[in-house]
């Protein structure tokens, strides 16, 4: 059977990185690297001539940096772009801006000594290319074990919670989520109940993301810390590499960090956050599941729904990838399906 291959153009000033990415992507049955470019000026001509489906774009390049090129591209010829970012503070800041400019997703630059993690890295970037090109994802090979949330937080019989005026909002997202979360937080007033967020994000990027959201939101935004009390007017974003749980400590809710196994191949996992809210907050919780690939969070938000929490899912039209919210809707765990621009108003009305 002939497979229509996803055509990829790699833009990176490093010949070694271009070579590594070409080898990785050409190993996939449905992806073909049709060209490479050492800088945006060369890339511009190759885009016109080769008409790629997806670009990988280095964040920092000579002659014209990746951000400037991306802003021109999205204005003149919008197309799916995966940013290739160095794991540095500067790289994180630029990458988050790139997502605001319209990049679909990002991944770290492959390391020269990648031998130990080559398979996992290859799987991740191939998956992201397929998502960017709107390919069917069910054929993606499963290399890493997919643990359920039980490995971090055991499912327990439903507890009886008294409904109170104190609320906790739990938000989960993946691909496209950093921009969706930004659009949501900038609309929330300063006296909003405490918000806990699990966004699939590497450790190097979560602090920069939290600081950027703090600059833009009327609420105070932190990268979550262990035992931090969850207060109204504050947002707690799970650090990359840690699961975030909401637990009860006396009359207060607190953040609990856990560095156990990845759940659904993610740490932080949305399912872990949502299950903890279902068990410890019950009907005083509000769950929001935003754009993202896969099904992480679908199980947990359904448990929140069963525990009496109100649940909201982003609709398909405004989602970059409608995997996570779509799966949650299929499982019957959602009360309200809304476009992104209407979710903040719904939350404000609920609280």
Q: Where are the domains of the chain?
A: 6-132, 149-350
Bridge pairing between strands 243-249 and 285-289: unpaired
71 is known as an active-site residue: no
The pLDDT assigned to 143 comes to 42
Q: Do 6-132 and 149-350 have matching folds?
A: yes
Helices (H) and strands (E) in the chain, counts: 11, 14
The pLDDT assigned to 283 comes to 95
pTM summary value:
0.83
Catalytic residue among 127, 174, 198, 206: 174
Task: Report, as ranges of residue numbers, the positions in the chain whose pLDDT lies below 50.
Answer: 1, 135-143
305 is known as an active-site residue: no
296 is known as an active-site residue: yes
Catalytic residue among 161, 200, 243, 266: 200
Dihedral over Cα of 317, 31, 72, 121: its sign = positive
Catalytic residue among 105, 271, 295, 296: 296
Give me the CATH code for the 149-350 domain, please: 3.40.50.180
Residue partners of 285: CB distance under 8 A and separation at least 6: 167, 168, 169, 170, 277, 278, 304, 307, 309, 310
CATH of 6-132, one of 3.30.1950.10, 3.40.50.1220, 3.40.50.300, 3.40.50.2300: 3.40.50.2300
Nearest to 101 by CA among 78, 127, 128: 78
């Amino acid at each position: 059977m002939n497979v229509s291959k996803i055509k990829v153009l790699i833009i990176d000033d490093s010949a070694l990185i271009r070579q590594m990415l070409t080898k990785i992507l050409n190993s996939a049955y449905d992806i073909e690297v049709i060209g490479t470019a050492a800088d945006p000026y060369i890339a511009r001509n190759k885009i016109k001539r080769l008409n790629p489906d997806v670009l990988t774009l280095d964040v920092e390049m000579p002659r014209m940096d990746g951000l400037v090129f991306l802003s021109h591209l999205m204005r003149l010829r919008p197309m799916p772009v995966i940013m290739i970012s160095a794991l540095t503070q500067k790289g994180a800041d630029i990458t988050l801006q790139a997502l605001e400019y319209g990049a679909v997703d990002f991944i770290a630059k492959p390391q020269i000594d990648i031998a130990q993690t080559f398979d996992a890295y290859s799987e991740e970037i191939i998956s992201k290319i397929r998502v960017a090109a709107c390919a069917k994802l069910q054929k993606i090979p499963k290399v890493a074990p997919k643990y359920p949330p039980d490995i971090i937080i055991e499912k327990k019989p439903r507890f009886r919670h008294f409904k109170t005026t104190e609320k906790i909002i739990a938000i989960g997202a993946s691909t496209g989520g950093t921009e969706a979360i930004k659009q949501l937080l900038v609309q929330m007033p300063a006296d909003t109940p405490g918000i806990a967020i699990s966004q699939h994000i590497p450790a190097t990027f979560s602090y920069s993301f939290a600081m950027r959201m703090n600059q833009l939101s009327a609420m105070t935004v932190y990268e979550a810390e262990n035992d931090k009390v969850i207060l109204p007017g504050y947002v707690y974003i799970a650090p990359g590499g840690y699961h975030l749980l909401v637990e009860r400590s006396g009359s207060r809710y607190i953040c609990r960090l856990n560095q156990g196994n990845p759940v659904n191949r993610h740490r932080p996992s949305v399912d872990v956050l949502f299950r903890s809210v279902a068990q410890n907050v019950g009907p005083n919780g509000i769950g929001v599941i935003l754009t993202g690939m896969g099904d992480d969070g679908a199980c947990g938000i359904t448990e929140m729904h069963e525990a009496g929490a109100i649940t909201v899912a982003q609709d398909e039209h405004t989602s970059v990838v409608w995997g996570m919210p779509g799966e949650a809707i299929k499982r019957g765990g959602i009360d309200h399906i809304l476009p992104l621009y209407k979710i903040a108003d719904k939350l404000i009305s609920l609280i």
